[in-house]
Amino acid sequence: MNIPLERLIDGIIATMRSDVIPHVRDSYARGQAVGVIDLLNNIAPRVEWAQAPLAQLVAAKRALVAEIAALVPEAGAVLADPVDGMETADDLLAAKRRLDAAIGDAIAVIWPRREEAAFGRLAVHVSAHLHDEMAAEMKITRKPLFAEIASGGGGNG
């Protein structure tokens, strides 16, 4: 998820307040909906995005950038960022953003030269990294409920 968790929870609460609760006719159901807001208000200051997968991802990206830097030295500048002291998920997300920028810049150099053997191998490794990153994300991404959303519910999800 690339939405800040705090904003996500605020948005859920706002939607419950303005778009859901005013249209819930049953008083018990309305109370339960307010209960959702109450819980979200209390969960918000206590949670952040899971750090372990982010830390793994940052490590994988640093390894890739180190490999890239052997052929594209300017990509290696981002490796000077300190790896210690990343104490929050936001720190890790910021590190991931800087590494992705370096990888993006490197793609612009590697892609046109991929017919050269060394650059070709690197292009394959970059593609494999990007694939693995998304495949790992998919393991924790649930099937979208678009059919239910579009039809106004009716399933158990």
Partner 1 sequence: MTTSALRGRVETSAAFDPTGVEAIRAALADFVRAQTGAPVDIGPLRRFTVGFSWVTFGFRARWTERGRQAERDLILRAGPPTGIFGPYRAYPEFITLRALETSAVPVPRVYWYSDDTSILGAPFFVCDLVQGEAPIPWTHDGGPAFDDERRVRLGTQFVEALAALHDFTWQKTPVAAIDGTRDVRRTAVEQVDAWMANLARWSEARVPMLELAAAWLRERAPVAARISITHGDYRIGNFLEVDGRITAILDWELVRLGDPVEDLGWVCLQAWRGRSPYMCHFFEREELRDRYAALTGHEVTLADMAYWEAFGTFKLAVMHYGATDCFARRGFNDLRMAGMGAQIPRMLLQVEAAMERAS
**Terminal Cα distance for the chain, rounded:** 20
How far is 58 from 67, CA to CA, in rounded Å?
14
Does residue number 111 form part of the binding site for partner 1 (CB under 8 A)?
Answer: yes
Query: Residue 28: what residue type?
Result: Y
Q: Tokens standing for 153? A: 């519910």
Considering only 2-10, 35-43, 52-60, 77-85, which stretch makes contact with partner 1 by CB under 8 A? 2-10
Per-residue contact string for residues 18-37; x = within reach of partner 1 by CB under 8 A: xx------------------
How far is 90 from 21, CA to CA, in rounded Å?
32
Does residue number 97 form part of the binding site for partner 1 (CB under 8 A)?
Answer: yes
DSSP single-letter state for residue 71: T
Per-residue contact string for residues 112-151; x = within reach of partner 1 by CB under 8 A: x-------------xx--xx--xx-xx--xx-xxxxxxxx
Q: Does residue 19 contact residue 37 with C-beta atoms inside 8 Å? A: no
- Residues of this chain that interact with partner 1 (CB under 8 A) are 1-4, 7-8, 11-12, 14-15, 18-19, 96-97, 100-101, 103-104, 107-108, 111-112, 126-127, 130-131, 134-135, 137-138, 141-142, 144-152, 155
